[in-house]
A and B are shown apart, each in its own frame.
Chain A
């Protein structure tokens, strides 16, 4: 799915992913977590990656498996070095206004990878597994 670089696309992406997540049986709390991870990733792509540039798109792909959902979100921005980002949990950064999006994504999915998209940009890959019945 190709999405425009605006905040409406955040809603569109979240709704699309959650439809698939419901299909394979995710429950409410997991849906909330997955939805938040997708929202944060989409905001990063639109705001920090593509910088609202109307000529650039956000690429969304969702792959369903019986026990998991894989979501890939890629922008066409300049990319960034994850290691260069300030640690939002460091004492000196707790009062910073921004910089918590990736932390929340990592907290709410089971697998998380960031890599360079080709030919340019950033690609975020997230996997969320169905919770096993206890």
Chain B
């Protein structure tokens, strides 16, 4: 899934949540979220990413992240979510990592 723009409180965060929830409820088990074109994430956006991770995991799937900007990587470091999310710079490696 390619995410674009801002994932912030309001439409951005809820659109992200709805898109992931749709994939999870349709039965998709291997979800790679490409964040290359995401310009800004706030704490609400991070919250929706965590919530989406939980939703996918609870449906027996895996959610991984691709193409994080330095700023988004910094956010994951600050919030210790690097220990939760699998993060990739290379799409082929990300796809190969799914079990």
Give A contacts to B, CB under 8 Å.
Answer: 7, 10, 32, 36, 39-40, 43, 47, 88-89, 94-98, 100-101, 103-104, 107
Contacts and interface: CB of A to CB of B under 8 A. Distances in A.
Mostly, the A contact residues are: helix
Interface of B: 8-10, 42-44, 46-48, 50-51, 53-54, 71, 75, 78-81, 83-84
A7 B54 CA distance: 27
7 contacts: A7-B9, A43-B42, A94-B79, A95-B54, A96-B47, A98-B44, A100-B47
Contacts, number: 50
Nearest to A32: B71
Contact of B47 (A10, A32, A98): A98
Contacts of B79: 88-89, 94, 100, 103-104
